[in-house]
Amino acid sequence: MAEIDPAGAPEVVFRDGLAEGELRYQRCRACSTAVFQPRVLCTGCGSDDLSWERSSGRGTVYSTTAVRGRGGAHNVALVDLDEGFRMMSRVDDIDPGSVGIGMRVAFTTVEDNGDPVAVFRKGSA
Ligand SMILES: [Zn+2]
């Protein structure tokens, strides 16, 4: 694993993580809130004392929608990660309408126009 260089802008640190296959998030040193999207100030208390951590990538689907477009249907999901933050993503490799609330999912990355993107796949417990 590469060391997390916390000097960059939060969005850059996050994207560097995706390039390493890691799901990075921030945790507030003042109030322990797990912070996501990457940002400068804690969403819980406003502190700027945020540290970077690596998520296990394991989570649970909080909400799910099948979106139909020209390229076919895809899924948009809100996933609650086990570390206590929520992110908008999608669940791949499963029929978009079959993604269920409460389903256990696991983080992975896929290439989208050359950039790594965070997605989830149906996972075990
Ligand atoms: Zn805080």
Ligand 1 centroid – CA 7 distance (Å) = 19
pLDDT, residue 62, reads 98
Ligand 1 centroid – CA 44 distance (Å) = 5
In 10 A of CB 53, how many CB atoms?
Answer: 16
What domains, with CATH codes, occur in the chain? Answer: 10-54 (no CATH), 58-122 (2.40.50)
Rounded Cα distance, 91 and 105, in Å: 8
Give the closest residue to 36 by CA, choosing from 48, 18, 24, 21: 24
Ligand 1 centroid – CA 39 distance (Å) = 12
Query: What distances in angstroms separate CA 28 from CA 11, 53, 78, one per listed residue?
Result: 16, 10, 22
Q: Write the pLDDT tens digit of every residue in 11-67.
A: 999 999 999 999 999 999 999 999 999 999 999 999 999 999 999 999 999 999 999
Ligand 1 centroid – CA 28 distance (Å) = 5
Relative to beta strand 115-122, strand 91-92 is parallel
Identify each DSSP E strand in 18-85 by its residue range. 24-28, 34-35, 50-54, 58-69, 72-81
Ligand 1 centroid – CA 65 distance (Å) = 31
pLDDT, residue 45, reads 98
- Please tell me what DSSP assigns to residue 98: G
Rounded Cα distance, 116 and 64, in Å: 22
